Every structure is written in C-alpha cells, then in structure tokens.
Structure 1
C-alpha cells in the first residue's frame, strides 16, 4: 500500500466511524503532513484520493471538508400538454410583496450578496464620473445608451465567439426591460410564445402583461432545453417568439450544450420564430469556462440577446442591454418612447469600471464562491433534510432547485419559513399554471455563516414535518 493510501485509510475509517462528521473541516494539508509525518505532496495525494471516493470536498480558500452524502437529482418532468393559452398562475401576484421585504434571510433572492460584489471599485467609478464628467453624467443618456459602454459590450461578445456590433446594442434598465422591449418589438397580443418550464417568474409575468399565449418546453436538470420537444411544438403551432435561458436556467442552473444550442437556433430560424435569449447568468459558470450565447450561431436575424450586470456587479445600478440584430432600430425607438434614455451616471461608471479593473478577476472569485455555496447547500440538505429530498446539480448561476419528498407542498414550507424570518421561492412561481408544488428554489448567492447553517437546519425540520418523513 502506498503511503498516501495508508493516510487515506486512516481518515476513511474516522469518517466511517463518525469521528469526522459530514460538513466538518479536515486538517489542513500542512497539519495532515505534520501529524502523519509525511510530505505535503503525500498529504495532497491523500485528499485527492478521498475526493475521488466522494468522501471529501475542497472549498476555495477554506480547505477540505468531509462531504455529506449527495442527494439524488430531481427527475426530468414532462409538462402537461396544454393548448396555447395565457399565463394563469395567481401565485405570481405575490412576488412583489416577497421581494419588498427586507426582514428575511433572502434565500429566495437569486442575486449575490453585497459583500460578494466590488462595491469599493464601483463607488470609485461613480465618484470619478461625478467629478470629471458631471455634465454628461447628470444629463439624458442617448436613447441607445453611451457608445463607450456599448463598444465594451461588443468586445465581450467577441470574446465568446459572437459577432455583435456596438451599433446594434441598446442599453436598458436591467435584463427584464430588455426582455420586455424585445417582446414588444416582435409580438402582438394573442401571439404564441414558447417559454421553458420551469423558468424565471419574471419572464412569465412579462408574457402575461402583454396578453401573449404560452407553450412550455421542458428544461431538464443537468441537460438544458429539450430541443426535440421544441421542434415538435414548432411543427404543430405557429410560434412567434421563444424566450429561452440556455446558460444556467433559473431555477435549475442547467446548461444547454453547444450542439443543442445550434440545433434550436436552426429550428427556430426554419420556422420563423424569433429567439429572445436571456443570457443574464452566462458569466457565472462554476467551472470558470464561460459558455457561448446563442448569438454565436446567428447573424442577428433570429436571435435577440439580452444581458445585465445585475448578477455580477450591482443589482441596484439596473443596467442591462439588448443586442437586437435586425430589430435594433425598433428596440431603440421603443426604449426612447418608454424612458427617453437610460441612466447616464450608471452607464459611464460601469464603462469606467470595465476600463480600469479586471472584471474576469472579480468573476473568478465570484464563481468560486457560488460553487462553494452550492456545495454547502448540498451538504446541509444531505445532513438536515429528509433522505428522499432531491436536489439539482447546477453548473452555474445562482439557484438550487429542490424537490421535496412525500408529496410535500412547498407553499406550506414557504409560509412556515416566513414566520421564522427565512425567504424561499416555492416551485409554483416557475410555471405558467402553478406546477411544481413539491419544489422550491434556494439562492446560492449569500455569504455562508452560522445563520445560513441554522436556516438550512430549520428548513429541513419543516420539510420533514410537511412530508411526514424524518429529518436527518
């Protein structure tokens, strides 16, 4: 037996006996080497072996921890086959009230905590713009937005293989305004629009507000959009637009592979369906490898691409964009009629930040933290929640999708959690007709601390009570 295997056997026995428990921190590499009289290289090999066996997990900047048993992933569900119809989900009316509350631990909010964002650098950029360009910063922005920022965005698209010009970009008040402007530009009331299921409730609300009819295409845990089913729907029904989130769908965190992305672009192009791509989570790949947007496989004739800085820099600055392709002029006009222009100070400050700071360096730290939080949530669910609980395996983004056992109702858990100061997002919010009653979404964007661990323990007790299953 090799030396590292002997050390691994010792730790394995301690884990098996319960001397080292799930979620507990293991000795540092240096401590392990000193305690067993081995080299640091041998200590590293020991932990790599335990990782391969699924007994240990590395957390960035934190060390190695005993890994909890990994909950099973949610099973793929086929949505009910409904004829095209308007969104009919009364639960969506409560979203604004939930988001307005500031007294909750916001496990319901798919945004990063302020401490994870570059507040000092952004404050510096805002101050500089007010001092040096106050006239422009306090004046109306051009309807399409300031060119300096649009040019930087075009450069970022080029880095992921998409040909987008600065001239076709319209800056918006976040991604939701970009999606709303896009729907307004390409649809009329009564048109049929494809959305994923489950999908972000804001998309459903935008479709409902414009009196559009919906068809739902499944998004599968770990696999992304069901392209074969999408093609079937397009063959059966005249669909004007498809609002899709191929990169780390909210709430599943699933990534659609490149082959399927190309296929769905070709399918929609063939049937004359405009794709409105919500790529708000594309920069949050937990692996660090930024996936391509759909615009990589399109020249601007089929795909309208929407994005935002809300999930990576600052939600409150409300700065997004839409790369409109052939609809750019219509989108710019719609933006002008809606708000005249965007926020000049915000646009100039973000441009200043991008020119002075390494955004990728910040993103690397943010991605590592989100991946670490996702693992911590997994571990907590494995420790505290009923054994039959199933959990998604996100590849990026800010969300974890949980399927409760025993026919439990996430709306009951949601109400009980509110009474204890914990916010959750019940699964009924993520479909056009209130499906996914037994599911809920949790946020990976909070700073992990004792309050978070306590909240997950309390949620586990509630989940066990509502499903008649024992908690762990």
Structure 2
C-alpha cells in the first residue's frame, strides 16, 4: 500500500511539472536510478511512476534512451462550439466553400492553413527507394492499368493493419481509391440518391460538405463537442425525427476541432444508425495519429460490415502526393467498385505498388511513432505560441491526436478578417465558417500542425496573434465611437 501511495505521489508531482511547462516536450527525464536517488524511492516505485505517466500520455519510453516528455500540458481555455440554431435538413448554404481552393492553391503563404505533413516528418527516402525498386523490377506492371478494386497485395496489407485495433477485415472488401475523399465520395454515390438526407457533425471537414453539395444531397448537423466528440444523444434524436440515408462522421480526431469521440458514444452512434437502417460512412483519416500511440478503434469495430464503410488513406502518414486511400466497403463492395470503375477506371498502379513495397520492406510503426511524436510536440508548441502571442481571450482546442488546432477568437474578430490580414502578410490560416453547412463558426480559425517547427513558424504565429489583437482593437474602437 505504501509503495502505491509513493508512486502515485511521484507521478502526480512529475505530471504537474509537465502540465505547467516546467518539463518541456522532448525533454529527457531522469533515469530510473537517478530518479530513485533524487526522490529517495526504490527503482520499482520509479518504474511505476513512469508507467503511470506513460498511460496518461505525458511521457514516452524510447528504446535504449530512457523516458521523455511527450504530451502537451499547458491548457489555454478550450475552444467552444456555438449552439446549433436549427436541426432541419437543407442543401449547402455556404458560398465561401467555392473560394477555399483559391486559398489552398496559393504557394506564397506560410502554410499554417494546411494539414499536410511536412516531408521532414515522413519516410521520404524509403518511399522513393520503394518506388524505384518497383520500376526497376517490372516497369511494365508498374505503369499499366490496374484492376478497379486495387492491387491485391496492398489490400492485404490494409486488412492486416486493422487487426491492430481489433477489426477483422476481408481483403476482398478493400477498395483502393485516390485518397480518402474519393473513398467517401464513392461511398456516398453508392448508398444515396440526389435529394437524400445525410447526417453530418458540425464542425466538419469542408471536403465532406463539398462532396455532399456536388451529389445534390441535403444535410442535417449534430454537434461535435470540443474535447468530447460527436454527440450521440443528438444523433439518436435526429434519427428519430428525420429519414436519413447515410451518416458521414469523423469520430477519431475530427478536422477541424481535433475531438475524439469516446467508445461509449461510438457504440451508441453505431447502434442508433443500425436501428434506423442508416449506413455510416466513416472518415478515419487521422485514426493512426493518436499522440499517445494508442490507436482509437474505428466505428467498424462496433458494427458489422453491412452498416459501416470505413474510409482512410496514407496521405497523412506516408505520402500525401501518391494519393492512395481505401474504403472498407463490406456489403457495398460491388457498388463501390462499379462506381470507381465508372469514375476513374482504377487508381494509378505505380503508387499502389510503391506503398505495398514500402510496407513489405520497412517498419511502418517506427515511422508512425516518429510522426506522432512530432505532431504531439507541435501541438504543444503551437498552443504555447498562442498563449504567448495571441489575445488573452483566445480559446484553443487541446487535441489528443490528428493534425489540427481549432481556435475561437475573442473581441468579436472573424476568421475571414484574420485570413485576409494574414494573407496580406504572407501567412495562411483557414476561417471557421468553411467547416459548417451554413457558414457558422465565424469567430474561429483552424491551424494545421504538420510543418516542421522552425523560427519561421513561431514568427508566423506571432504575427497572426498580433493581427488578431489589432482587429479586436479596431472592432472595439468602432463599437465605442459615438
């Protein structure tokens, strides 16, 4: 009993130091022997303390190197979500989504607005070597058309990977696509018709909204709560009142809020959709990017292959430009393969073979550990910079995974105004109104975490913070003028 109290006390004190920023992300912690001497405890007690902190996601063990600070701990005020004003199916009413490509295509901006991992964080050389090996070994196959469903070897790799999170997948139901968005769009085309109602969360990724609009669908929103994820009770209430054909949900590290939906809510959502015959299309793009390394299960784990289509890609974990994604299509496999064939014939052969070659010859988990570590550190760095350089009433999310930060601006500042002011200074961000059906979240912005940290990033965040402060002061001046 005394040993338990000792390790809990020691873990609590070290955890408090990490949360206050006294111990920084990436900082090496004392060895077990040194910690035991410093704290006058046994090595067994030191081990238990570090194990507890590791379970809490605050430290990580590195082979032959010891223990290091991992998780973000400073806690600026959490970003909030505005109350939904209506819950009625409607077509997309957000003209700003037509202009988002103009921002994304600009190459003159410091790309704080994108969620693409920097090359420095990815196994670029290994991927290039794999592609080169494929071309040397059989250039004819690498450059030929492939089957619409995709390369069998790659489909087997994807199916085996899901065993790590307790999901059994038949390689025969895996459909290879050009990224996760094509998988989501093909799934929507396969299970809905123009005019159908689709349930989505809010805020949600603007690409999902664009796909819904392009297919002539209507949508109805349920809240995704910062720090808590999709509101399962709201899902059940909406399904009880409206006829819904499909639900497109992002339960694991929602883009833009970074929220993770808990397992109980996942079960409840899947159960409610199953009761009402609603097919769930799951965007699991960020599922592998939990900062603790503990991969949250996809919705597919709580349902059969008939009711959940899980979509993802390697764009955030290995190679964004190769555009290799997939759908776990289950009972909808034939329909999605037909849709794929009619839309793009097949996914390019060389990228499929290069990824399969990489997965066969290299340690994907090692690359993921490095990427997660850097993203966790970036989350802390970005949030620290917001705390130092942005107005004090700025609220910021505290994601446990993924590649986004969601900020609520104070002082009545709108995200569009900050976008325009930042772009004029060569810095990108995305305004919050892009992430909802009706253009809500006007006082929010999203920042991406995928860049390698440099002084240029810090300077860009500092400038954005000063611009937010200037806009708030101008707004206050206008409101007080006679």
Alignment TM class, shorter chain as reference:
0.7 to 0.9
Following superposition, the deviation at residue 71 of structure 1 comes to 1.2
Q: State whether residues 402 and 439 of structure 1, in contact with CA within 8 Å, keep that contact through their aligned partners in structure 2.
A: yes
Residues in 2 aligned to 1:347 and 1:39: alpha-carbon distance in whole angstroms:
49
2:387 corresponds to 1:370? no
2:335 corresponds to 1:335? no
- Could you tell me which of 341, 350, 353 is aligned with 1:348? 353
Q: State whether residues 25 and 380 of structure 2, in contact with CA within 8 Å, keep that contact through their aligned partners in structure 1.
A: no
Could you give the per-residue CA deviations for residues 386-417 of structure 1, whole angstroms, max 9, x where no partner exists?
11111111011000000011211111110010
| Consecutive aligned runs of 4 or more in structure 1 exceeding 6 Å deviation | 21-30, 57-65
The residue correspondences of 1:306-321 to structure 2 (distance < 5 A) are 306-321=311-326
Residues in 2 aligned to 1:469 and 1:112: alpha-carbon distance in whole angstroms:
35
Q: Which residue of 2 aligns with 1:139?
A: 144
2:389 corresponds to 1:388? no
Q: State whether residues 77 and 218 of structure 1, in contact with CA within 8 Å, keep that contact through their aligned partners in structure 2.
A: no
Residues in 2 aligned to 1:454 and 1:23: alpha-carbon distance in whole angstroms:
23
Could you give the per-residue CA deviations for residues 52-73 of structure 1, whole angstroms, max 9, x where no partner exists?
9xxxx979999779x9963110
Q: State whether residues 70 and 382 of structure 1, in contact with CA within 8 Å, keep that contact through their aligned partners in structure 2.
A: no
Residues in 2 aligned to 1:124 and 1:342: alpha-carbon distance in whole angstroms:
21
- Give the secondary structure class of the aligned counterpart of 1:468: helix
- Label 1:226 to 1:24 Cα distance change in 2 as closer, same or farther (>3 A): closer
Could you give the per-residue CA deviations for residues 433-464 of structure 1, whole angstroms, max 9, x where no partner exists?
11000000011111111001111111110111
Q: Which residue of 2 aligns with 1:284?
A: 289
Q: Which residue of 1 aligns with 2:91?
A: 86
The residue correspondences of 1:144-293 to structure 2 (distance < 5 A) are 144-293=149-298
- Could you tell me which of 420, 428, 446 is aligned with 1:423? 428
Following superposition, the deviation at residue 336 of structure 1 comes to 0.7
Residues in 1 aligned to 2:273 and 2:24: alpha-carbon distance in whole angstroms:
49
- Could you tell me which of 431, 437, 443 is aligned with 2:442? 437
- Label 1:384 to 1:246 Cα distance change in 2 as closer, same or farther (>3 A): same
Residues in 1 aligned to 2:110 and 2:412: alpha-carbon distance in whole angstroms:
26
Following superposition, the deviation at residue 40 of structure 1 comes to 6.2
Q: State whether residues 201 and 224 of structure 2, in contact with CA within 8 Å, keep that contact through their aligned partners in structure 1.
A: yes
- Give the secondary structure class of the aligned counterpart of 2:462: helix
Residues in 2 aligned to 1:375 and 1:317: alpha-carbon distance in whole angstroms:
29
- Could you tell me which of 82, 96, 100 is aligned with 1:95? 100
- Give the secondary structure class of the aligned counterpart of 2:375: helix
- Label 1:42 to 1:460 Cα distance change in 2 as closer, same or farther (>3 A): farther
Structure 2, unaligned runs of 5 or more: 1-5, 41-48, 476-482
Paired residues, number:
445
Structure 1, unaligned runs of 5 or more: 33-37
Residues in 1 aligned to 2:191 and 2:309: alpha-carbon distance in whole angstroms:
10
Could you give the per-residue CA deviations for residues 26-48 of structure 1, whole angstroms, max 9, x where no partner exists?
99768x9xxxxx95656699xx9
- Give the secondary structure class of the aligned counterpart of 1:441: strand
Q: Which residue of 2 aligns with 1:35?
A: none
Q: State whether residues 187 and 309 of structure 2, in contact with CA within 8 Å, keep that contact through their aligned partners in structure 1.
A: yes
- Label 1:397 to 1:27 Cα distance change in 2 as closer, same or farther (>3 A): closer
Q: Which residue of 2 aligns with 1:403?
A: 408
Residues in 2 aligned to 1:380 and 1:294: alpha-carbon distance in whole angstroms:
34
2:134 corresponds to 1:125? no
Q: Which residue of 2 aligns with 1:111?
A: 116
RMSD value over aligned CA atoms?
A: 3.1
- Give the secondary structure class of the aligned counterpart of 1:414: helix
- Label 1:135 to 1:449 Cα distance change in 2 as closer, same or farther (>3 A): same
Question: Structure 1 length normalisation: TM-score?
Answer: 0.88
- Label 1:146 to 1:69 Cα distance change in 2 as closer, same or farther (>3 A): closer
Q: State whether residues 122 and 350 of structure 1, in contact with CA within 8 Å, keep that contact through their aligned partners in structure 2.
A: yes
Following superposition, the deviation at residue 280 of structure 1 comes to 0.4
Residues in 2 aligned to 1:191 and 1:63: alpha-carbon distance in whole angstroms:
51
Residues in 2 aligned to 1:383 and 1:271: alpha-carbon distance in whole angstroms:
48
Could you give the per-residue CA deviations for residues 298-349 of structure 1, whole angstroms, max 9, x where no partner exists?
2211101101000000110000001111110010011111111111111111
- Label 1:43 to 1:427 Cα distance change in 2 as closer, same or farther (>3 A): farther
Following superposition, the deviation at residue 99 of structure 1 comes to 1.4
